[in-house]
A and B are shown apart, each in its own frame.
Chain A
């Protein structure tokens, strides 16, 4: 027992010393999440508001005026121009006088009563940010009016007018001001952490094998499980530190409110880290070189971006694709962090995802432990 502790302690200390000695890698590990956070943040802040807007109000009734008011109040549209026809509006868009326009057909109030009201939105298609933000802003404003929205994108090149399918995002519910940072930051931290844990763990294990140092380690009384724990502990430490840096930067620099229980967040973050380490260990049994580790972990990162609900909502995805996403722990953790961070809910709402993550960690750790051998072959 004493010897086992001594071995474990020595292994952890060895890994820590090696990690701390490799200053450059360590710096990159700690800095990258932060850099990516800022890049994402400022990319997201390119959400366009105060779009110069023209309105063609053919109704001139109370409801139509209320709609225009709502557009202005949203902060996304500055309505400075009133025009008389769609043709004039297109001309104004082409001239670059305005970047968006609304056409409210006659008898808007009546149509609204019947539930058949339609508003035509025209957005300057030369700027995709304007299209995106203008469209989603218009959608959220007009939703209140139970209005069918027809979007037309006017390309500078001609009259290519096409509709864009309407989709509403659930985050609008909790994020009514369209403040994307609130949506992005918690998930982003989780995603970066996922990449880091997998990559870091797989790399240290594969490097040991590549350098041949594993042979000299195996010939000591060290048990495979001890080797595994020795590699995990420093990684948990550094991953946790990176996550906290991202979290606090999100809270204090980007003013993302933290509504839930911080300790719950800490414990579940640790659980998530463990699941990622397990995945990294498992990956190291497949990858033979550090290069292969990079490629595999990038694959997981891309899948994480696409399939886990970090950016694209999962429910519309085909079941098979959802199942693939379910193999990535981020899927569960994205819901958990958003739940705690943004909605401020506790275990009573998160238990299914927490249970999934627990089972996931247990299974993957067992698998990883089985693959850690006491021999070279």
Chain B
């Protein structure tokens, strides 16, 4: 019996497909404390959904171990299913049932007594802001409301642990914030343990700890703060007068004659540049670029966020793999 709410040790999942074997999750190890919010962060196809499903016992594992609340994912499947809540990545509630029918259905299936339902369902609907829509078909709700309904349904049996697979996928920024506000309340009031999969870096910042997942494995596994500290150098932000040219120059810094340039990332029209020592490099850089007829607007040093840290870590990982020293660019919007 482990004291962890969620635990995985060397968890591996291999799919047999027509094209051969696909290792979706590879020797994943994670431990989530009770009451903690853990973020499974990674790009599309990293293996977040697969890892979550294996931990829940929805998929058979190919290797390693995993458990929730000390119950083995494979052996104690139903003990887990009685105690956890889950939101699938795709909307998976019956679309042709109303909000109320959905709530009642999941309450009954989870064995919540009618008396408890009378109290809990209105509370949850109010909590999720769905109180006025009880008679609406689930399929007719907006994207954000669907996610909130899914959350309400997954909480109806008062689980101690919830696993949320991209719960804010396709939801507008306001609703996303509302959704996280709801999660925050659950953490504070109920001490709920949350595992959340997300590709959004701002959401990663809200977690106690995160695992950065790429190609089925963690490339970083720590608190957001510690992960940001893993990034080499310090971060400069600026808008050049000619972005493509500047980018090309910075990717090949020897041509520019400036040392200490570690990494460049695009950020819209802006560039994010990691350098070893800003005090030394900023004057050199400005001079070298203006010699090329390029001016820099709004140049300043910023704190790296998860986003920059994430890109930097992924890139470092890739470079180690191909064992090259060339700087490449991973763009973000």
Interface residues of A (CB under 8 A from B): 3, 6-7, 9-11, 13-14, 17-18, 21-22, 211-223, 374-377
CB-CB contacts of B31-54 with A at 8 A, as 1s and 0s?
000000000000000000000010
- Known contacts A219-B56, A221-B81, A374-B77; A213/B92 CB under 8 A: yes
User: Which residues of chain B come closer than 8 Å to A7, judged between CB atoms?
Assistant: 108-109, 111
Please determine whether A219 and B108 come into contact, CB atoms closer than 8 angstroms. Answer: no
Closest residue on chain A to residue B139 by CB atoms = A211
Count, A-B residue pairs, CB within 8 A: 79
Q: With A211-B92, A216-B88 in contact, is A376–B53 under 8 Å at CB?
A: yes
- B124 interface residue per 8 A CB criterion: no
Expressed in whole angstroms, the Cα–Cα distance for A58 and B34 within the complex equals: 106
Q: Which residue of B lies closest to A11 (CB)?
A: B109
Say yes or no: B106 contacts A220, CB within 8 Å.
yes
Selected from A10, A213, A375, the residue in CB contact (under 8 A) with B93 is A213
- A212 and B93 CA atoms in complex are apart in Å by 9
A22-B92 in contact (CB<8A) = no
B109 touches which one: A22, A212, A215, A221 (CB < 8 A)? A221
The verdict on A215 contacting B111 (CB below 8 Å), with A10-B105, A18-B94, A221-B81 known, is: no
B297 within 8 Å of A by Cβ?
A: no
- C-alpha spacing A217/B58, complex, angstroms: 11
A21 shortest CB reach to chain B, Å: 5
Given A6-B111, A10-B105: A376 touches B59 (CB 8 Å cut-off): yes
Q: Which residues of B contact A10 (CB under 8 A)?
A: 104-105, 108-109
Q: Is the CB of A3 within 8 A of B111?
A: yes
Tell me if A18 and B96 are in contact (CB < 8 A).
yes
Q: Which 6 A-B pairs have the closest CB atoms?
A: A10-B108, A216-B92, A3-B111, A219-B86, A220-B109, A215-B88
Is B101 engaged at the interface, CB distance under 8 Å to the other chain? Answer: yes
Nearest neighbor of A226 in chain B, beta-carbon distance: B109
B82 at the interface (CB under 8 A from A): yes
A18→B105 CA distance, assembly (Å): 12
CA distance A7 to B106 in the complex (A): 9
Is B142 part of the contact surface with A, judged by Cβ < 8 Å? no
- CB of A14 within 8 A of CB of B58, answer no
Report which residue of B81, B97, B104, B108 has the largest number of chain A beta carbons within 10 angstroms of its beta carbon: B108
Q: How far is the CA of A11 from the CA of B106 in the complex (A)?
A: 10
Seen from chain B, the residues whose Cβ lies within 8 Å of a Cβ on chain A are 53, 56-60, 77-78, 81-82, 84, 86, 88, 90-97, 101, 104-106, 108-111, 150, 153
Q: How long is the Cα–Cα vector from A13 to B60 in the complex, in angstroms?
A: 30
A-B contact sample (13 more), CB < 8 A, given A216-B153, A375-B77: A7-B108, A9-B108, A18-B94, A18-B96, A22-B96, A214-B92, A215-B92, A221-B81, A221-B82, A374-B77, A375-B59, A375-B60, A377-B60
By a CB distance below 8 angstroms, the chain A residues around B58 are 215, 218-219, 375-376
Query: Using Cβ atoms and an 8 Å threshold, which residues of chain B touch A218?
Result: 58
Q: How far is it, in angstroms, between the C-alpha of A213 and the C-alpha of B150 when the chains are bound?
A: 12
Q: For A375, list chain B residues within 8 Å (CB).
A: 57-60, 77
Q: Are A220 and B59 within 8 A (Cβ)?
A: no
User: In the complex the two chains form, what is the Cα distance from A217 to B153 in whole Å?
Assistant: 11
By beta carbon, the residue of chain B nearest A18 is B96
Residue of A with least CB distance to B74 = A375
Contacts of A374 in B (CB 8 A): 77
Q: What are 5 sample pairs from A and B whose C-beta atoms fall under 8 A apart? A: A14-B94, A14-B105, A213-B92, A217-B109, A375-B60
Contact A222 B109 (CB under 8 A): yes
Contact of B111 with A221 in the complex, beta carbons under 8 Å: yes
A222 CA / B106 CA spacing, docked (Å): 10
How many Å lie between the Cα of A218 and that of B53 in the bound state?
11
Which residue of chain B has the shortest Cβ distance to A220 in the bound complex? Answer: B109
Q: Give complex CA distance A9, B108 in Å.
A: 8
Q: A212 with B88: in contact, given A221-B81, A375-B58 (CB under 8 Å)? A: yes
Closest partner residue, chain B, to A4 (CB atom)? B111
> With a CB–CB cut-off of 8 A, which chain B residues contact A11?
109
* C-alpha gap A223/B81 in the complex (Å): 11
Nearest A residue to B111 via CB reads A3
The distance in angstroms between the C-alpha atoms of A213 and B91, with both chains bound, is 8
Give, as a whole number of angstroms, the nearest-CB distance from A267 to chain B.
31
Query: Could you say which residues of chain A place their CB within 8 Å of the CB of B97?
Result: 14, 17-18, 21
Residues of A within 8 A of B96 (CB): 17-18, 21-22
User: In the complex, which residues of chain B have a beta carbon less than 8 angstroms from the beta carbon of A223?
Assistant: 78
B11 to chain A: closest CB distance in Å? 15
Considering the chains assembled together, what is the distance between the CA atoms of A222 and B107 in angstroms? 12
Q: How far is the CB of A205 from chain B (nearest CB, A)?
A: 14
- Cα–Cα distance between A217 and B81 once the two chains are bound (Å): 10
Chain A residues with Cβ below 8 Å from B111 are: 3, 6-7, 221
Set of chain B residues within 8 Å of A18, measured between Cβ atoms: 94, 96-97
Residue of A6, A211, A212 touching B108 (CB-CB under 8 A)? A6
Which chain B positions have C-beta within 8 A of A215?
58, 88, 90, 92
Are B109 and A17 in contact, with the CB atoms below 8 A? no
Find the residue from B57, B58, B78 having the highest chain A CB count within 10 A: B58
Interface centre among A215, A217, A223 (most CB of B within 10 A): A215
